[in-house]
Amino acid sequence: MTLPDMRFDVTAPATPLADLGRVHLIAIGGAGMSAVARLLLARGVSVSGSDAADGPALQALRTLGARVHLGHDAGHLAGVDTVVVSSAIREDNVELAAARAAGLRVLHRSQALASLMAGSRRVAVAGANGKTTTTSMLVVALDAAGAHPSYACGAEIAQLATNAAIGDGSVFVVEADESDGSFLAYRPDVAVVTNVQPDHLDFYGTAERVEEAYAAFVATVPADGLVVACFDDPGSRRLAQAVRSCGGAVVTYGYEPGADLRVLSTEPDGLGTHSRFVLDGVEHSLVLLVPGPHNVMDACAAYLAAVHGVGAQPDAVLAGLASFSGARRRFEVRGEAGGVTVVDDYAHNAPKVAAVVSTGADLVRRAGSGALHVIFQPHLYSRTRDFAVEFAHALAPADHVVLLDVYGAREAPVDGISSALIGDPLRELQGERSVLVGPGREDAVAAVARSARPGDLVLVVGAGDVTGLAPLLVQALSRAASATSTDSSTTSDGGAR
């Protein structure tokens, strides 16, 4: 397919790693770019990079041997052979413009990853929702099964304490980003599609173009490869049917009858789950430390990719999945104070938000008391405009919702587009429950700290800088609990209140 506004030919053959020379990464501290930098360094490539501000990611890369500059300057390209960028880097960036003018090789992040994957058995995990968790689960499961894969993930895998590494096995697992069409670069032997849903319409324009992109992605799988697809998601199911009709190998998973791997039951177990599934007539038990049916689905995708796609031993894979403790910002517990638990999650489209909020609501309901508070930061003006009502329905199970202003990221503000587009229909859905729209960050934290009570759960949700509120909430809740304790002590000692 011809992708809209594509700045890079990601369908071109990958550049051999030995031909890259010295590599410079613009905005090297981002999650995706830092993963590429780590892998290049591990392969012995000379790496430099630049970013606007310092932070832990840059410090870690310096420790690994990268030369990192703060700020962007054309002088940083001295001696560089290849420049790597993400789609977020504009053509007028001073370093990118200088690289183009000098005729240097300029690669998209995905193309650099494709160079690193050469010679490996390649597994690429794609989907609107769940790809980070599925990738993380697959890496942990393969490691437990002795496959020791190389990998690049969109978030730090908690128990491995990194988002990327070179393993000593033959498998390379990559999280494949569909947002800009760059997932066509990988040509995986095993392609996992967790779901095909309309998102990133700022790039694709229509839902039909989104489906065409996924069709192009699975078309890059070789004839002897495998597609793992979610049967319960209509878009993914249509994709699986199309691949099968062309003679391709497909294995599906889901709760619905007709899935090759069918989940028979899922029961909550503390913050985790215990499920049963059947595959090829054999029933298996799946134990997870993470909550929610959506995580069960991600684990099933990881299981099929590991066992059917890579050939790992099933029991070892299940044991690895049972040990999985999560990925950063994927229902990550950030702290507890005064009996209130604070969870941080990266969910930023409506289905992801719905999965996170429904999981939180179920945990509160099973606890038998308490309320669910959600601080949500809409991500992108275009996404807020296109899916405001869907976001309202996703947030509706919460008892209290605080809607921050839209985080524009790469987009400029748009007149008439604000978090109120979500708040208005949400108020109609929630009835007597509270909805606060547009407070500042300090006011949002203060509002939740005032209203939260022991037994409550607070979700901090979004792909922007809302994650910074999680530790502030824990601190505010701790102060509130201390103040309450002091007041109670004063009262019990006969003091006046």
* Per-residue model confidence as pLDDT tens digits over 72-82: 999 999 999 99
Provide the 10 A C-beta neighbour count for residue 390: 18
Mean pLDDT of 299-328: 94
d(CA 315, CA 22) in angstroms, rounded, equals 43
The pair phi, psi for residue 417, each rounded to 5°, is -105, 115
Is-contact 148 137, C-beta < 8 A?
A: no
In the prediction, which pLDDT does 338 show? 84
**Cα–Cα distance for residue pair 5/307, rounded to 1 Å:** 38
Computed over every residue of the chain, the mean pLDDT equals: 89
Model confidence at 495: pLDDT above 50:
no
- Max distance between CA atoms of the chain, in angstroms, equals 81
Helix ranges, 150-232 (H): 201-204, 207-219
* pTM exceeds cut of 0.85: no
- Interatomic CA distance for residues 286 and 265, integer angstroms: 10
Highest mean pLDDT among 201-205, 267-271, 377-381, 425-429: 377-381
* The pLDDT value given to residue 194: 95
Band (31; pLDDT cuts 50, 70, 90) = confident
CATH topology of domain 119-323: UDP-N-acetylmuramoyl-L-alanine:D-glutamate ligase (3.40.1190)
Residue 57: the pLDDT is 85
Q: Which amino acid is present at 12?
A: A
Q: How confident is the model at residue 6 (pLDDT cuts 50, 70, 90)?
A: low
Mean pLDDT of 123-141: 93
The residue ranking higher by pLDDT, 182 or 76, is: 76
In CATH terms, 332-485 corresponds, of 3.40.50.170, 3.90.190.20, 3.30.365.10, 3.40.640.10, to 3.90.190.20
| Pairing state between β 282-288 and 272-279 | antiparallel
Per-residue pLDDT at 493? 47
Q: What letter does residue 331 receive in the DSSP assignment?
A: S
Residue-level pLDDT at 87: 83
What is the domain partition of the chain in residue ranges?
17-108, 119-323, 332-485
Closest by CA position to 384, among listed 350, 435, 355: 350
**Bigger pLDDT: 34 vs 365:** 34
The length of the chain in residues reads 497
Catalytically annotated residues? 131-132, 175
> Under CATH, which architecture does the 17-108 domain have?
3-Layer(aba) Sandwich (3.40)
Grade residue 484 by pLDDT with cuts at 50, 70 and 90.
Answer: low
Q: Outline where 406-468 has alpha helix (H).
A: 420-430, 441-451
